[in-house]
Structure 1
Amino acid sequence: METLINYFETIPSLHRSIIIVGGLTFFWLLEGAIPLFNFNYKKWKHAVPNIFFTFTTILVNLVLAFLLLKSSDWVMANNFGILNWLPELNIWIYGILGIFLMDFFGAYLPHFVEHKIPPLWMVHLVHHSDHKVDTTTANRHHPIESVIRFIFTLLGVLIIGAPIAIVMMYQSLSVVATQFTHANIKLPKKIDKIMSYLLVSPDMHKVHHHYVLPYTDSNYGNIFSVWDRLLGTYMELDRDNIIYGVDVFPDEKENSKISSLLKQPFQKYKRPTIKPKET
């Protein structure tokens, strides 16, 4: 763990780019070998808007990255935050606890809030309006959402007292985890189920992308499934019953246009009432 912490403390931007591109490439190829759904689509064409929003996400994080560094330096210099208030921990416990807490503040919490506050839900809809969820969907986030999530991550750094190494480690794991859980891959159900007791598995996250409530408002986790289980937002739905998209924005053609997706948060919209659970 000490070696990992030392590495991520000064991880070069090139290495972070390799993690993003390498993960995307790996899961892209894996989708061809063990697909969950046999989508009738032109994969490259479908990927265009998703890759566009991946670049905007990267750009937002690059522009604001100095705030993470400054905040992390401040909490360490001032002995502020949860990790700094605890007794000295084993380095493995320290690292895992830091990532675990960052996953709550940087992923679960903003995701939950985006689903509960109407204007933020409109921003987050860009992610949910993909009708062919695959690994490229992972970073299909409107630039406004990228800023929102960055703010929560920054809040997490301050509350947790996270050193920059933990922040970089968390962000790297988060990218790979979300590429994995969105990937159109079919794991054996038993393996997927066992995995879901601790980590977010592909089937578990696919439930979140089902097109109607209450499933859309469940399984918010990114790396650890524990947050959903502890906070009562965990749900199950057989993978064969999952339909992607959002019921109130059913036009797949419009939901595939970058220009339409950029304007989507500013449309008038009212969330539907919860529909009965499917059996």
Structure 2
Amino acid sequence: MEAIITYFETIPTLHRSILLVGGIMFFWFLEGALPLFQFSYKKWKHAWPNLFFTLTTIIINFGLAFLLLMSTDWVAANNFGIINWLPEMPLGLYALLGVLLLDFFGAYLAHFVEHKVKPLWMVHLVHHTDHHVDTTTGNRHHPIESVIRFSFTILGVFIVGTPIAIVFLYQSLSVIFTQLTHANIRMPRKLDKLMSYVLVSPDMHKVHHHYVLPYTDSNYGNIFSIWDRLFGTYMELDRDNIVYGVDVFPDEVANGKIGELLKQPFKKYQKPTIIPGKD
């Protein structure tokens, strides 16, 4: 475990880039072999806006990285945060608690708040208005949302007290799970269900992308499913009944254009559209 922590303390930017790009490519090909839905779309055309927002997320995170480094240095120097106030524990448990709690603040809580505060929901809509959820959808976030998510991660660093190695470990796992849970892959139902008792599984997260409430406001987790189960936001829906998108922004053409998506947070709601037989 010590070797893993040492590696993530100074993980090269190249390695993090390979994890992101390699993960997208891996699940991209896996989607072709084991598709959940047979989408009738041009894969590259659909991916373009999602990859654009992946790039903006990378740029913003890179630009704000100094704040992350300052935060982790401060909590380390002052022995601040939950995991540093607990009795001394094995390094493996220390890292697990750090990742678990960062997942709560940086992912679950951030996601929950975005759904409950209307201005933040309007920003987060860019992620939900993808009508063909696949592995490229995972990083489809408006630049404003990238800043919001980063802020919650900083909050988590201070409250949890995580050193930079655990932050990088958490972010690496987050990238993998984001790509996995959005990937258009058909995992065996029993395996998916078993996985969902502790970790966020593909089918579990797909429920969150169903186009109408109350399913849209459920399954907020990113890595660990225990937060949804603990706070009562866990829901199930047969994957064959899932319809992607958001009922208040049903225009599939507009929802695939970068310019329209950049303006989406500032638009007014349209009247909800109900798809016959899918309500």
- 1:1-279 to structure 2, matched below 5 A, reads 1-269=1-269
Runs of 4+ displaced beyond 2 Å: 269-272
For 1:269 and 1:112, the matched residues in 2 are separated by 20
Q: One-letter code of the match for 1:141?
A: H
- SS of the equivalent of 1:259 reads helix
Question: What do the CA deviations read for 1:186-221 (whole angstroms, capped 9, x no partner)?
Answer: 011000000000000000000000000000000000
Q: Any unmatched runs of 5+ in structure 1? A: 273-277
Q: Any unmatched runs of 5+ in structure 2? A: 273-277
Query: Cα offset for 1:269?
Result: 2.4
- SS of the equivalent of 1:236 reads coil
Judged with a 3 Å threshold, the aligned counterparts in structure 2 of structure 1 residues 155 and 270 are, in CA distance, closer, same or farther, namely farther
Question: What do the CA deviations read for 1:14-70 (whole angstroms, capped 9, x no partner)?
Answer: 111001001111000100000000000000000000000000000110000010111
For 1:28 and 1:116, the matched residues in 2 are separated by 32
Question: What do the CA deviations read for 1:61-82 (whole angstroms, capped 9, x no partner)?
Answer: 0000010111000001001100
Question: What do the CA deviations read for 1:135-176 (whole angstroms, capped 9, x no partner)?
Answer: 000000000000000000000000000000000000010011
Over aligned residues, Cα RMSD in angstroms? 1.2
TM-score by length of 1: 0.97
Query: Cα offset for 1:239?
Result: 0.2
For 2:122 and 2:15, the matched residues in 1 are separated by 33
Is the CA contact 2:249–2:270 (under 8 Å) kept in the aligned structure 1? no
TM-score by length of 2: 0.97
Number of aligned residue pairs = 274
Q: One-letter code of the match for 2:242?
A: I
Among all aligned residue pairs of Structure 1 and Structure 2, give the percentage whose two residues are the same amino acid: 75
Is the CA contact 2:50–2:136 (under 8 Å) kept in the aligned structure 1? yes
Query: Cα offset for 1:83?
Result: 1.1
Is the CA contact 2:133–2:182 (under 8 Å) kept in the aligned structure 1? yes
For 1:180 and 1:150, the matched residues in 2 are separated by 21
For 1:269 and 1:36, the matched residues in 2 are separated by 30
Question: What do the CA deviations read for 1:103-130 (whole angstroms, capped 9, x no partner)?
Answer: 0011000000000000000000000000
Query: Cα offset for 1:268?
Result: 1.5
Q: One-letter code of the match for 1:213?
A: L
For 1:100 and 1:131, the matched residues in 2 are separated by 31
For 1:9 and 1:31, the matched residues in 2 are separated by 33
Judged with a 3 Å threshold, the aligned counterparts in structure 2 of structure 1 residues 86 and 35 are, in CA distance, closer, same or farther, namely same
Query: Cα offset for 1:267?
Result: 0.6
